[in-house]
Amino acid sequence: MNLFNNIPILVTGGAGFIGSNLIEKLLIEGANVTCLDNFATGHRHNIEPFEMNPNFRLIEGDIRNAETCADACKNQVFVFHQAALGSVPRSINDPATTNAVNIGGSLNMLIAARDSGVKRFIYAASSSTYGDSESLPKVEDKIGKPLSPYAITKYVNELYADVFARTYGTESIGLRYFNVFGRRQDPNGAYAAVIPKWVLSFIEHKPILINGEGDYSRDFTYIDNVIQANMLAALTDSPEAINQVYNVAYGDRTNLNQLANWLRETLTQYDSDIAKVEIQYGPYRKGDIPHSLASVDKARKLLNYNPEFDLKKGLTEACKWYWEHLK
């Protein structure tokens, strides 16, 4: 039995890394999926596999346009709101656009979902919300001051979702993603995430650049763990679980030196010369928090979240995908 048989579902940012993986899973589960994307950071090749599927529809548009949001939300049961301008450095370089998309666009989507009677609004929150809080592991109700414009925008999304729940009775669930990686994540561009960027460098035998001394650590989270959390957020019927924010991670941390070595070790299986690739060190990056580690106890308890992929298992899958698609 399919989990979402003939249920209309909207995925914003559906041509992006996480969005396209969500669409793939939703179509497998029988949903009628609408993708809303302006292709600012998403890619058409991410959704090409779905274009011949009769249950897939694309709306090319921008969440900064309220009418576009209203049109996309019509007759939808669930909204998975993944559209955003990611990247801390991007937000530092251009805070105004990050604010317009991540706050203004998300507010447009909340209003459209409310007005269309959407059953539940599931949105991408971020571990950046923890800001300068030094406590580890990160627990949902203990956050610090934001360290970047991006972090501010993602926290404001949570505040708006909470106010809409209290004021209009909107059902929402926020998922604070921790350093997600996996298939379809773009390795190119100035704001590429660290894992795909390093994978590409290794494959091309170019030096790896680590910001700082490699001692900063992250809770790297494989895409399939994130997909699981999104499915559970839509399917839960527990009143206690709704209108909450959850950490979505594996619940372990790895520093950048370890990550680089594991990537090299994994990719060397495909090309022995990768073992010779040099690792270089540069200055620490503005806005970066030193350490990130999630407690996933709340998601386990209320959503029955059970992440299956630790970092090494996820890297094995991701490196295999990149080797097949980047060569």
257 domain residue, yes or no: no
Distances (CA, A) of 119 to 10, 299, 320: 12, 20, 38
Report residue 4 as tokens. 């979402």
48 domain residue, yes or no: yes
262 domain residue, yes or no: no
Report residue 39 as tokens. 């292709």
pLDDT of residue 258: 96
CATH of the domain at 19: 3.40.50.720
Report residue 66 as tokens. 């309220």
Active site residue 150: yes
72 domain residue, yes or no: yes
* Whole-number percent of the chain with pLDDT over 90: 93
Q: Please report, to the nearest 10 degrees, the dihedral formed by the alpha carbons of residues 166, 163, 18, 128 taken in order.
A: -130
**pLDDT score of 288 more than 80:** no
pLDDT of residue 286: 78
Report residue 174 as tokens. 């926020």
- Given the structure tokens 């459209």, which residue do they identify? 112
Q: Name the E strands within the chain.
A: 8-12, 32-37, 56-60, 78-81, 120-126, 172-177, 180-181, 208-211, 217-218, 221-222, 244-248, 254-255, 279-282
**pLDDT score of 189 more than 80:** no
pLDDT of residue 1: 72
Average pLDDT rounded to a whole number, residues 41-55: 96
Helix ranges restricted to H, 101-219? 106-116, 149-168, 194-203
- Given the structure tokens 């989270």, which residue do they identify? 221
pLDDT of residue 174: 98
Structure confidence by residue, pLDDT tens digits, 49-83: 999 999 999 999 999 999 999 999 999 999 999 99
**pLDDT score of 305 more than 80:** yes
Q: Which of 36, 34, 41, 71 is nearest to 56 (CA)?
A: 34
Structure confidence by residue, pLDDT tens digits, 217-272: 999 999 999 999 999 999 999 999 999 999 999 999 999 999 999 999 999 999 99
pLDDT of residue 319: 97
pLDDT of residue 38: 97
Q: Which of 54, 48, 46 is nearest to 27 (CA)?
A: 54
320: number of CA atoms within 13 Å, CB side? 6
**306 by DSSP, 3-state: which?**
coil
Length of the chain in terms of residues written: 327
Number of domains the chain is built from: 1
* CA 34/CA 168 separation, integer angstroms: 25
90 domain residue, yes or no: yes
Catalytic residue among 150, 160, 216, 246: 150
| Other Cβ atoms closer than 10 A to 1 | 5
- Average model confidence (pLDDT) across the chain: 96
Residue 75 backbone class (left: φ over 0; alpha: ψ -120 to 50; beta: rest): left
Q: For residue 224, which amino acid is it?
A: D
pLDDT of residue 54: 97
* CA 223/CA 225 separation, integer angstroms: 5
264 domain residue, yes or no: no
0.75 exceeded by pTM: yes
317 domain residue, yes or no: no
Range of 228's domain? 8-183+222-251+293-309
For residue 217, the cross-strand partners are: 255, 291
207 domain residue, yes or no: no
